[in-house]
Structure 1
Amino acid sequence: MTIKQRKLCKVSADIEWMVARAKQATGFLKALSHESRLLILCLLSEGEKSVTNLEELLALRQSTVSQQLARLRLDGLVKTKRDGKTIYYNLANEDVRTVLAAIYEVFGKKPKRGAR
């Protein structure tokens, strides 16, 4: 195999890796693109919560909260813990927390008084 062929194989492997990561990133971002799901994740970044806790904090119906949690669980963004009949939700990993922190850095800070 020539040097040029080896370089092309390396580029091809890099592109395949990039395509796989791009697919993973777009799925992650799609999950975050829904207002209720993003709010749920923000609340979970503060600590684990039950469906009831989330219902009360968001003033949403239980079915809506459960539906959004199911999607977040399917996407691998939240994990669960059962305690009797109550299921508690938490962020699945630190990657989710890191992305939420970046979103907060850009969109979550309240403007300083007198700022326009």
Structure 2
Amino acid sequence: MANNWSEKEIELTAHCFKAVAHPLRLAIVCLLAQGERTVGDICSEMGTTQPNISQHLTQLHNQHLLKSRKDANRVYYAIADQRLSVIIGMLQEIYCN
């Protein structure tokens, strides 16, 4: 394997990239790289419906890319692994001058 990566590490990394390859999911991750947000905040920022956002949040959460916490009747989402924030920061630096 390349650079001493195990086959499992490469497969897990590929699944992470696949999860954020969708434009809306990438936009959500970029938003969350700036800090924790509620589902309502994300809906407002993305300009789409709560069911649509929830579907994408679930996919990202199932890949362990996001973590969530509940406070009263609100669910807050944040990036679970700060390495993803670093990757998003590098992508923004390269492509979003």
Is the structural similarity TM-score above 0.5?
yes
1:99 to 84, 87, 92: 87
Change (3 A) 1:57 1:21: same
Trace 1:29-44 onto structure 2 (pairs within 5 A): 29-44=17-32
Structure-2 separation of matches of 1:89 and 1:83: 11
Secondary structure of 1:47's counterpart equals coil
1:91 maps to amino acid: I
The corresponding residue for 1:26 is: 14
Secondary structure of 1:100's counterpart equals helix
State how many pairs are aligned: 97
1:90 to 78, 82, 96: 78
RMSD: 1.9
Structure-2 separation of matches of 1:15 and 1:49: 36
Larger Rg: 1
Q: CA deviation at 1:14?
A: 8.7
User: Which has the bigger relative contact order, CA under 8 A and spacing at least 6?
Assistant: 2
1:29 maps to amino acid: F
Unmatched 5+ residue regions in structure 1? 1-12, 110-116
The answer on 1:53 being equivalent to 2:41 is: yes
TM-score between the two structures when normalised by the length of structure 2: 0.92
TM-score between the two structures when normalised by the length of structure 1: 0.77
2:55 maps to amino acid: Q
Divergent runs of 4+, >3 A: 13-17
Identity %: 26
